[in-house]
Chain A
Amino acid sequence: MDDGLYFSDQHRAVRDTVRAFARDEVAPVASDLDVRAEFPWPTVKRMAELGLLGVPWPESMGGAGLDLVSYLIVIHELAKVDASHAITVSAHTTLGTSPIVHFGTAAQCARYVPLLAAGKVLGGFGLTESGAGSDAAGTQTRAVRKNGHYVLNGGKVFITHGGVGEVFVVTAVTDPGVGTRGISAFILTKETVDLDQARELGIGHAESLVPLAGFTSGKKEDKLGWRASDTRALTFTDVEVPVENRLGEEGAGFTNFMRTLDSGRIGIAALSLGIAEGAFEAALAYAGVRRQFGQRIAHFQGVQFPLADMATEIEAGQHLVFHAAWLAQRGKPFGKQAAMAKLFCSELAMRTTIMAVQLHGGYGYTRDFPVERMMRDAKICEIGEGTSEIQRVVIARHLLRELAD
């Protein structure tokens, strides 16, 4: 892809910074973090310093004031080296911060966004429940209005930054019996589970935020991939949430988070594409040095063909991702293209990483090479923020709507 089609000099400058950071500071620690399933506070601090945790937000809110394409470049470049770092940026920005930026009052924006954009605290998004994921109407968490506040009871599962984060946008039913129109969103705050480390590093904790009693996080999930990312359940036990913490109108929670998820899909698509490219580059380099039968394995057509397929599909994926971003940035409808990009690139990440391991042979199955980690990291891309099946449903809905028109 000639990047001039989508990128300006400024985009390339962003890419250079993130590429250098990923190469010099993330790549050396990625494998170890994966083995120990450790949240990488020191590199998260560096990401905050570099401005990677508030890329698309206006400078007046403490963001970098850059565009969506810049933000996707950050996700994409990080994911080439380590998907956990990429999802940390993505979940914090798209899921944790964007609902407040887009649907928050001026007071809510002023209170939370500067802290989030500077990376002073990490944010998360609580939608999924044990009985409600793709089917948001199954939401069981209840919010009952009482004496000037809402009382929340229930819980969420698989919440990125559930433990390390301090600011969460969560959904709860305020009006049972009317389905998704009875769902509202709230901003909830708690202390990070890594308080000592946060204080020591000066990141991840804000004294100015009031932890809400009864709002807790559960044990860290032991995952197949994205192991350096923090995923936990959230529990709400009679949590008294001030009315001023309601995000958007009562009953608007569902429509609002559908919009959040639409743009989130391009982020996951960029992340998936990054994993695929990272695995492809590793496989190409390996095929160029590994010798069998007296020559480099890249000389065998059996190796060349999959490499050619991978490169072709990656190029197609690049256009899907950055075209969807191009649409979104110009205010054009992009829901269908975002779902297509997410569907194609997440499945591409899976196919590509499996083939990258295959091309590495036995070495690919060991931790001495990054491709086995990439293969494990790829799988969740076909599941999180809407499964591949849901993406197909979304795309088909768009097609049928177009047919009806």
Chain B
Amino acid sequence: MKIAVCIKRVPVMDRRFTIAPGGTTIDEVGLAYDVNDFDLWAVEAALRLKEQVGTGEVVVLSLGPDVVQEQIRKALSMGADRGIHLQAASVGADDLPVARALADALRDGGYDGIFLGRLAVDRANGVTGPVIAELLGLPCVTAVSKLEIANGRGRAQRELEGAQEIVEFPLPAVITVDQGLNTERLPTLKGIMGAKKKPLEVRPVTLDAPRVTVRRLALPPERIGGRIIGEGVGAVPELVRLLHDEAKVL
């Protein structure tokens, strides 16, 4: 079982974001970075599959500047076998060139499965997986919350609004992982030590010109605190008056 997992370096989300001068990017000062959560679950799914089968290889790919090697190392420290860094100085807002570069790197890899997170928590486009599948002509199953693979076929559960869908598909296939499939393992200290010795291949790539560009980035408006008008029935007339005169929703 040979599985590729595509991971993305994203800012840790518990920080307060500010917009950088220029108005089209976030200010990176003071931000911490980690592997996108959904991608960690994809790594975990691949590792479990390999452990279950007993043999195989888990290859981790990430595209971006040299700093993404930190995230590849994390996946290696969790247990992935080797990494491929698709080196590009900067990555724009258009996912098609990204998917194309990844697809090119994956095409002749002989992978039984290509795993990704359902979306990246920074941009949340959620299209890289499906576009890779399209470019490679592979079946694509998105937002998988349960996964079984045996005898060259896969069976997956997808979470829909108020329902679950069970699908079957042949391998190789592209699978994007949703929350709930698993909880990722912590890298052990031995894993961290071992990750340094695992192969990490650097392949410079040239991305196609982006056709989507960010024009403007804006923070959501500050939340204004609520107001307590009073309690019980007595407060209703005042509430109605404010909703009518001030909020103008009645």
User: Measured between C-beta atoms, what is the minimum distance from A301 to chain B in Å?
Assistant: 23
A 64-89 contacts with B by CB, 8 A: 64-66, 70, 74
In the complex, identify which listed stretch (B130-138, B182-190, B237-245) lies at the interface while the others stay far away.
B182-190
A2 to chain B minimum Cβ distance, whole angstroms, is 12
Contacts of A55 in B (CB 8 A): 189
Out of B34, B73, B189, B196, name the residue touching A17 (CB < 8 Å). B189
Q: A59-B193, A64-B193, A66-B193 are in contact. Are A17 and B187 (CB under 8 A)?
A: yes
B70 on the A face (CB < 8 A): yes
Q: Which residues of B contact A16 (CB under 8 A)?
A: 34, 74, 187
Q: B106 an interface residue at 8 Å Cβ cutoff?
A: no
Interface membership of B77, Cβ < 8 A: yes
Q: Is B192 an interface residue (CB 8 A)?
A: yes
Q: CB-CB < 8 A to B191: which residues of A?
A: 51
Interface size on B, residues (CB 8 A): 15
Contact between A51 and B189 (Cβ–Cβ < 8 Å)? yes
Known: A13-B73, A13-B74. A64 touches B186 (CB 8 A): no
CB-contact partner of A49 in B34, B188, B192, B195, under 8 A? B188
The answer to whether B188 and A51 have CB atoms under 8 Å apart is: yes
Nearest CB of A to B31, in Å: 14
- Once the chains are docked, how many angstroms separate the CA of A9 from the CA of B189? 13
Partner of B70, one of A9, A20, A51, A66: A9
Distance A70 CA – B196 CA, assembled complex (angstroms):
15
Question: Using Cβ atoms and an 8 Å threshold, which residues of chain A touch B195?
Answer: 13
A52 at the binding interface (Cβ < 8 Å): yes
Whether the Cβ atoms of B70 and A64 lie closer than 8 Å is: no
Establish whether residues A51 and B190, one from each chain, have CB atoms under 8 Å apart when the complex forms: yes
Indicate if the CB atoms of A50 and B189 lie closer than 8 Å. yes
Bound together, the chains give a CA A9 to CA B34 distance in angstroms of 12
- The residues in B between 186 and 220 inclusive whose CB is less than 8 angstroms from any CB of A are 186-193, 195-196
Expressed in whole angstroms, the Cα–Cα distance for A10 and B186 within the complex equals 14
Q: How far is the CB of B113 from chain A (nearest CB, A)?
A: 26
In whole angstroms, what is the CA distance A10 to B187 when docked? 12
A contact residues around B74 at 8 Å (CB): 13, 16
> For residue A14, which residues in chain B have a CB less than 8 angstroms away from its CB?
189, 192
Cβ proximity bits A5-44 to B, threshold 8 Å, 1 near / 0 not: 0000110111011001100000000000000000000000
Q: Contact: B192 with A13, CB < 8 Å?
A: yes
**CA separation between A196 and B195, bound complex, in Å?**
37
Closest residue of A by beta carbon distance from B34: A16
Q: Judge whether A50 and B186 touch: CB under 8 Å.
A: yes
Please tell me if the beta carbons of B186 and A9 are within 8 angstroms of each other in the complex.
no
Distance of A12 Cα from B190 Cα, bound (Å): 14
User: Is B193's CB under 8 angstroms from A65's CB?
Assistant: yes
Q: Is the CB of A10 within 8 A of B192?
A: yes
Residues in chain A near residue B188, CB distance under 8 A: 17, 49-51, 64
By a CB distance below 8 angstroms, the chain A residues around B77 are: 13
Which residues on B sit within 8 Å (CB–CB) of A66?
189, 192-193
By the criterion CB–CB under 8 Å, are B190 and A13 in contact?
no
User: In the bound complex, do residue A17 and residue B192 qualify as a contact, i.e. CB atoms below 8 Å apart?
Assistant: yes
B-side contacts of A52, CB under 8 Å:
189
Report Cα–Cα, A55/B193, bound state, in Å.
10
Q: Which residue of A has the minimal Cβ distance to B183? A: A24
Q: Residue of B at shortest CB range from A70?
A: B189
Closest approach, in angstroms, between the C-beta of B185 and any C-beta of chain A? 10
Footprint of A on B, CB under 8 Å? 34, 70, 73-74, 77, 186-193, 195-196
Between A and B, 30 residue pairs with Cβ closer than 8 Å are: A12-B70, A13-B73, A13-B77, A13-B187, A13-B192, A13-B195, A14-B192, A16-B34, A16-B187, A17-B186, A17-B187, A17-B189, A21-B186, A49-B188, A50-B186, A50-B189, A51-B189, A51-B191, A52-B189, A55-B189, A59-B190, A59-B193, A64-B189, A64-B190, A64-B192, A65-B190, A66-B189, A66-B192, A66-B193, A70-B189
Q: Which 8 A-B pairs have the closest CB atoms?
A: A51-B189, A64-B189, A51-B188, A13-B192, A51-B190, A17-B186, A50-B188, A65-B193
Instruction: List 7 extra interface pairs beyond A13-B195, A17-B192, A66-B189, CB under 8 A.
Output: A13-B77, A14-B189, A14-B192, A50-B186, A51-B190, A51-B191, A64-B193
